[in-house]
Amino acid sequence: MDTIGRVAGKVALVTGAASGIGAAIAERLSEEGASVVLADINAEAGEALAAKLRGAGRSAVYEQLDVTSEADWQRVVHDALGVFGGLDILVNCAGVATGGQELLHHDFANWRRTLAINLDGVFLGLRHGGAAIVANGGGAIVNISSVASKAAVVRGAAYCASKAGVAQLTKVAALEWAPLGVRVNSVHPGYVETPLVEALISQAPDAAAMRAVAISRHPIGRLGLPEEIANAVLFFASDEAGFATGAELLVDGGYALP
């Protein structure tokens, strides 16, 4: 087990860890000494990243996880405890972004899928991963919300509602679990250069124009990088944030300012 780093000796479970922000978070925590459970529905990419981390001399395993499945959560947490003996850090990052549906014509199946992954998945993570952290004597949970929890997006009803739900669920968990030694905080990214955002942009009739509009919404003048979100998560996961719970950290290039 690594003994040097800002989360050295800790065990972290990261959902959505096979790509994008989740992968960057898993790598960053690993770089700083954590043993990492990479949980994702994408087995091929998840196994590849776990192998990469192990090849660098780090401790990492992949677990297949559908965050909407309580049975999956129970198995993954059980396996993590079996391999590493405890759990100190949980990062609920898995999510889906679906847009393009005006509320008057919003498809209910799309609504339910978005809420199931983005909000139910975080609830199940708190319920089962959080319980393991409590049993281990305390630790840190970071939930990935979105700037869309603060700034409404046209044709984004399901996504905005789900991410606002994550923000408030974070605060409830923080309040209830503070006496148990568990800190629970949320990070709210703006548009970040990930496969998820790229897929959304590519769905537009004019992808180049859509990208330009997305960039224009960020006063800092560009989209974010996964590593920049990972650095924010690392802070909350580390003992440096020992007095922070129920906090919301916007890492959005100024998107929410106007």
- Segment (H or E) for 60: strand 60-64
Find the angle CA(58)-CA(60)-CA(193) to the nearest 5 degrees: 95
CA distance 174 to 183: 6
Computed from CA positions of residues 162, 244, 252, 256, in that sequence, does the dihedral angle turn out positive or negative? Answer: positive
What are the tens digits of pLDDT across the range 136-183? 999 999 999 999 999 998 889 999 999 999 999 999 999 999 999 999
Full-model pTM: 0.96
Instruction: Assess whether 62 carries a catalytic annotation.
Output: no
pLDDT of 29 over the 80 cut: yes
- Range 13-21 average pLDDT: 98
The domains of the chain, with CATH numbers, are 11-191+225-251 (3.40.50.720)
Lowest mean pLDDT among 3-12, 68-77, 82-91, 195-204: 195-204
User: Does pLDDT of 87 surpass 90?
Assistant: yes
Which residues have CB under 8 Å from 21's CB, separation 6+?
Answer: 93, 144, 189, 192, 194, 226, 229, 230
Q: What is the DSSP letter of 38?
A: E
Confidence of residue 2 (pLDDT cuts 50, 70, 90): low
| Residue 99 pLDDT grade (very low, low, confident, very high; cuts 50, 70, 90) | low
The mean pLDDT of 18-28, rounded to a whole number, is 98
